[in-house]
Amino acid sequence: MSILHLKKSMFGEKEALLVNHEGIHVLAFRYPSGICALRVSGPKGELILLPFDGQQIWRADMLGHALTMRSMFEEPTGSNVFLKTYGGFMLHCGLSGIGAPGVDDTHAQHGELPNAPYNSAVLHMDSDEHGAYVALSGVYQHRIGFTAGYDFKPECCFYENLPRITQSVNIVNVRGKPLPYLYLCHINFIPVDGAKLISSAMNAPGEYTVHTAEAPETHRIYAESLRKDFNVQDIIGSTGQCYDPEICITLRYRPDERGIGHTMQRLPDGYAHYVSHPVDALPVPVRWISRNNDEDAMGMVLPATAEHLGFTNALKKGQVRFLPPYETAHFSMEIGVLTPEEAQCMEMHIQTVMESTGIH
């Protein structure tokens, strides 16, 4: 394995080659806002990563498909306020809270992780059973005296021959008391009209919860129809759908034999946007869809430990996780695109998983 420790001095106004590993190229550049970025590209796609700012995936393209939501932000602004630089493809959220804070909460929207300043950032170049890869990892050290201390260590692994990344997370409690935490992986695909949502989420009444804030009548009517029939959302862009400003649904997934939940946005061309997540580690995934003139986002699954309604709500519902002193929580997700053949196989796999519960 080769390792390159990143320094901000490596990032200039013009793109400069940092790594050429097998068929993967990594270029460093700096946005006008001052944010450092990596352009990681290979035969199957391209990512733009923010190594020192939340280790976000700012943009993602795989197999000729632009994956990232539409927003007002063409580039990151440098703000640490969640909605003042919101337009990335994948953001880590937590650990002090996820979602909007409730009246009794003190955490920021989606916690401190989305734009957290990283103390270190490292590129790893190696190969495994899937082929050559380049992985970005780093450490965000969170310290509050007498209160909390943890190290957040993500890793985004980009393969030469796969149109999907492996996104891993390690949470290390560095204090001598249990660490209460919440985590959500905010994955923001672009919606595609005519596409179909397919997943191993349980769709029977009582297995999911539709959340809506104050909204126009058309929005409330659609939300009520969704409560009665989960499948009215399946074909993207169908008549009557209303996601302005947004609709959130907390889901419960049926795991396959490996303990994995699967979600696809099956595109009209046969390809599919895809996410897999471990059901035990991330048992309360959120589906977030927002479609209006300024934002267009298909958060078909945001793998999470709890609902998106703040720390106090999660504590009352028993959804807060507690990491023992000096121990590590680890989990990983697969995110990207399936080819038409892979998507067909995955649809059959999901159907088999759901049939095992009597759900069709």
pLDDT in tens, 169-179: 999 999 999 99
Domains of the chain with CATH codes:
2-355 (2.70.98.10)
Which amino acid is residue 317, in one-letter code? K
**With contact defined as beta carbons under 8 Å apart, do 109 and 82 qualify?**
yes
Quote the CA–CA distance of 172 and 153 in Å, as a whole number.
Answer: 8
Burial class (CB in 10 A: 0-12, 13-18, 19+), 318: exposed
| Closest residue by Cα to residue 140 from 111, 177, 180 | 111
Length of the chain: 360
Residue from 201, 194, 286 nearest 246 by CA: 286
- Which whole number is the average pLDDT over 67-85? 96
- Tell the residue number behind the tokens 């699967």, with chain if given: 262
Among the listed residues 327, 324, 279, 321, the one whose alpha carbon sits nearest the alpha carbon of residue 181: 321
Is the model's pLDDT at 323 over the cut of 90?
yes
- Predicted local distance difference test score (pLDDT) of residue 360: 46
What is the Cα–Cα distance from 267 to 273, expressed in whole angstroms? 8
User: With 80 as the cut, is the pLDDT of residue 25 above it?
Assistant: yes
pLDDT digits (tens, 9 = 90+) for 34-66: 999 999 999 999 999 999 999 999 999 999 999
Number of neighbouring beta carbons within 10 Å of residue 110: 26
272 in Cβ contact with 265 (< 8 Å):
yes
Residue 2 has pLDDT above 80, yes or no: yes
Side-chain half-sphere exposure of 358, counting CA atoms within 13 A: 1
**pLDDT tens digits, one per residue of 265-276:** 999 999 999 999
Give mean pLDDT, residues 220-231: 93
54, 320, 330, 334 from 310: Cα distances, Å: 20, 10, 22, 26
The residue whose two tokens read 């949470």 is 171
Residue pLDDT, tens place only, 90-132: 999 999 999 999 999 999 999 999 999 999 999 999 999 999 9
The residues, ordered by sequence, that sit 6+ positions from 343 with a Cβ below 8 Å of its Cβ are: 264, 266, 270, 271, 272, 274
Distance from C-alpha of 192 to C-alpha of 111, rounded to nearest angstrom? 30
